[in-house]
Structure 1
Amino acid sequence: MKTIRTLLVAVSVLISQWSYGQNDSIPIYTVMYNQAPEGFNYPLIGFVNNAIGSHKGAQIGFINTNSGAFTGAQVGFVNTIGAYQNGLQVGFVNTTNGPVNGMQAGFINTSTDSVNGTQLGFINTQVHESTGLQAGFINTSTGKLNGAQLGFVNLNPKEVTGAQIGFVNTTGKLSTLQLGFVNYADSLKKGGLPIGFLSIVRKGGYQAIEVSYNELFPYNLSVKIGIPAFYTTFNGSFNPDFEDEFAVGAGLGSIISVGPVFFINPEAYYQYQVHAENNITRASFNIGANLSPRVQFVAGPSASWIWYADDYDVIDPAFSFYRERFDENDELIIGLNAALRIKLSK
């Protein structure tokens, strides 16, 4: 009965406010609904808390709304601020229709302006420039990002001058670090560095197809993608003289320019013979030359460490400068490789 009486009182107060034109200058305090006019900077604690205009203090409830600027803390299931925020929002859904100069922590965090603080949640969205941190499963920043995005998917269509760290990272212009499994940037500025299993840069990146020869496999086809300073290579190899003819693998490489024509090209990659189950770890130190804007030639010494799954599946190279078998499973072979590349990027 006491609970019912309280609810009836709350409803009667709401009806009276509606009947008298909803006078925004009158504070209302009930268990279910609290209302504070502008300048009434006292905590609002209830099921629904509504602050008219700007407010300072605290709102603690299921639904918290503030039509103007807010300085303080909103703690509830749904929190809404109509202008800028200087403080904290903690809830399932947090929305600020202005700059965030504090923290939003919840399942969904949204700022229609800039974020100069922190967004922590499952989905974080900010519309304008960000100089803070977004940490969540999906982070979206539609303006320039001068801070950091940490999450599974990080999206920024304009420019990143901070950092994107996640499984999938995308941006318009990259001026700093992308670290993830898949990275995409429309263009690369000075200082931009994507590091990942697959990094795609549309303008300023490095994409090439390579055919090569080495002492282990006379026929090799590789796809290289990334940027000249750091790219990923995916390799397939064939030797008709081996019992297990095919090997596949992936690795890393870098192009270090020493002039308009020549460059140094270290590479390291891992290959696996599927049927024999042999593991090949290979490193090469190549010297390259730009034969034309699209064609490159590289050659240099290489070292291959082979781990044999079975003693009878031994790989016999076509030639070698040095070869040593350490035990029944491990062997080192020093050889040579040469390759011709066709650049797909400009």
Structure 2
Amino acid sequence: MKTIISLTLLFALVLQLANAQEERPIYTVAYNHAPDGFNYPLIGFVNHAVGDHKGAQIGFVNTNGGDFSGAQISFLNTTGGDLDGAQISFVNVTAGGYSGSQIGFINTAVKESSGAQIGFVNTLVKESSGTQIGFVNTAAQYLGGAQIGFVNINPAKVDGAQIGFVNMTKSLESLQLGFLNYADSLKDNGVPIGLLSIVRKGGYKAIEFGFTEMHPVNASFKIGVPKLYTTFNASYNPDLKDEFALGGGFGSILAMGNVFYVNPEAIFQNQVGSNNDMVRLSLNLGIALSQKIHLVVGPSATWVQSDKYNEYVEPNFYFRRDTFDENDELFLGINAALRYNFSY
């Protein structure tokens, strides 16, 4: 800690000395000082340019008081104005905007920018038309490019894609691809794809109760958007050795007017307490009995895989049954359900 404090005081003293002699360049191995318009490379431990500077700054600490055009390569890079070029270091900060790239562990740009931020933590304070690639990406205002990382946050609007584990934006006009997606509102071209996608305005949320040929009692919760939603399913059959099944999948609502729609779904379920799995594909016809209450009915195909052939009893009903071996069977059946839509 004492060493860090000493270096900080020494650095401050050097800067004060430089400011006192800012009209005269200083060029040494340890410290380089350039006045406004001194457009020559600065290569040293500490590089400090008072005003605008063009060229290169290569060292441990690079600072530039005004606009900078070229490359800053060090442990810490800062510019007081706009950056036209590249900052490559552990920490990159520009008080203006940038046209080019910031590559480091922490990258921050205060004003309008275009280009790429590549690092662990990337932050854009104003509008940007570039791309952020990192562990945590934050764009406080409009972003015309993409965010690719573990956590992507944008409280305004994203025109490009958000690809990460957690994606958050106010207005979604493109693609969200992740484990958890959140958007306050959805535009026509916006599509969230993930295990759980929440859209506060314009999203899709529904609960459903129905039956299938394998389970007379089924309940599900559906959330996402009409184009692509996630469904979480729980089923019960008292005649099966393992009575309960849990799982989930994806579905889509393809409107055919205000009353009817096509509703394909793909669902995976596991019989709780066993290694028996089911993959179910259904093609439903949806009928809006009212704005909130819908009836869905349609054919289905269910692939059943079990450890032992005799662990499954006869289904409630089926139209066709194909047995491939002692572990795999295919059933063709039908399902029907009532769905309560509380999206509106």
TM-score bucket of the superposed structures, by smaller chain: over 0.9
- Give the C-alpha shift of residue 23 in structure 1: 2.1
Which of 234, 246, 270 in structure 2 is aligned with 1:272?
A: 270
After the TM superposition, which segments of 4 or more aligned residues of structure 1 sit over 6 Å from their partners? 14-17
Instruction: Please name the residue that 1:123 is paired with.
Output: 121
Aligned to 1:68: 66
Instruction: Please tell me whether the aligned partners of residues 143 and 157 of structure 1 are also in contact (alpha carbons under 8 angstroms).
Output: yes
**By how many angstroms is 1:243 displaced?**
1.2
**What amino acid is the match of 2:151?**
V
Unaligned runs of 5+ in 1: 1-10
Structure 2 counterpart of 1:345: 343
Residues 61 and 17 (structure 1), Cα distance of their counterparts in 2 relative to 1, 3 Å cut: closer
How many residues are treated as equivalent by the alignment? 335
- Select 2:80's aligned residue among 62, 82, 95: 82
Q: Which residue of 1 is the match for residue 231 of structure 2?
A: 233
Task: Provide the identity percentage.
Answer: 56
CA contact (8 A) 1:34 1:48 kept: yes
User: Which residue identity does 1:111 align to in structure 2?
Assistant: A
SS in 1 for 2:105: strand
**Alignment match, 2:4:** none
Partners of 1:276 and 1:313 within 8 A in 2: no
Q: Do 1:265 and 1:287's aligned partners in 2 also have CA atoms closer than 8 Å?
A: yes
1:195 to 193, 196, 210: 193
8 A Cα contact 2:108 2:123, kept in partner: yes
Unaligned runs of 5+ in 2: 1-8
- Please point out which of 35, 47, 50 is paired with 1:37: 35
Q: For the residues of structure 1 that align with 2:137 and 2:275, how far apart are their CA atoms? A: 41
Matches for 1:1-346 after TM superposition, within 5 Å: 22-346=20-344
Q: What whole-Å deviation, never above 9, does each CA across 1:282-313 have from its counterpart, x for those lacking one?
A: 00010001111111110001110101111220
Give the whole-Å Cα distance in 2 for the aligned partners of 1:337 and 1:235: 14
SS, match of residue 68 in structure 1: coil
SS in 2 for 1:101: strand
Query: What TM-score does the superposition give when structure 1 sets the normalisation length?
Result: 0.94
- Counterpart Cα distance in 2 of 1:18 and 1:75: 23
Contact 1:17 1:23 in 2 (8 A): no
Cα drift, residue 19 of structure 1:
7.2
Q: Is the CA contact (8 Å cut-off) linking 2:239 and 2:313 kept in structure 1?
A: no
How far does residue 274 in structure 1 lie from its aligned partner after superposition?
2.3
Q: What's the Cα RMSD here?
A: 1.7
Q: Deviations over 1:220-255 (max 9, x none)?
A: 110101000100101000011111000001101000
Distance 1:87 1:338, change over 3 A: same
| Counterpart-to-counterpart distance in 1, 2:211 and 2:223 | 20
Q: CA deviation at 1:15?
A: 7.5
TM-score relative to the length of structure 2 = 0.94
> Aligned pair in 2 of structure 1 residues 65, 317: CA closer, same or farther (>3 Å)?
same
